[in-house]
Amino acid sequence: MIVLSKEKLPIQREQDVVLFRNRIKELATKIGMSLVNQTKLITAASELVRNMLRYGGGGITHLEIVSRNSIPGVRLIFVDEGPGIKDVTLAMKDGYSTGKSLGLGLPGAKRLVNEFDIKSESGKGTTVTIIRWKNGL
């Protein structure tokens, strides 16, 4: 996999989310992603960035255009230095939430992208990486 472009965007307040979403849209449009796939990617990003604000106290997002076997895609990495997730397997289950949400955030986001990876260490923070390929299903 090759990284074609990369940039960083810090997320500290809720208003930063709007800018972040717009930037993803620009990247996805640039590689010619279909509207439905764009919507899925941005929705997944929206879920993850909310988690980052709510549980991780904000953090840094990395936005990248990547390419594998000459198929382009958008990769987003969410890094926070919050308390971390105690039980990742449990957090990935539908309907599980420590807050008062629907508990669809993490598992839902995973269903909306092609590749999903989560690493969390108690007390050190959480890193989530997602990729959506241009024409991936």
* Interacting residues toward another protein by CB under 8 A: 14-15, 17-18, 21, 35-36, 38-40, 42-43, 46-47, 50, 94, 101-102, 104-105, 107-108, 111-112, 137
Instruction: Kindly give the interhelix angle for 15-30 and 35-56, rounded to the nearest 10 degrees.
Output: 150
Place of tokens 């993803």: 24
Quote the least distance from Cβ 37 to another protein, whole Å.
Answer: 9
Min CB(89)–another protein separation in Å:
18
Q: How far apart are CA 95 and CA 88, in angstroms?
A: 14
Nearer to another protein, 2 or 18 (CB): 18
Q: Are 42 and 29 in contact, with CB atoms under 8 Å apart?
A: no
Shortest Å, Cβ 43 to another protein:
5
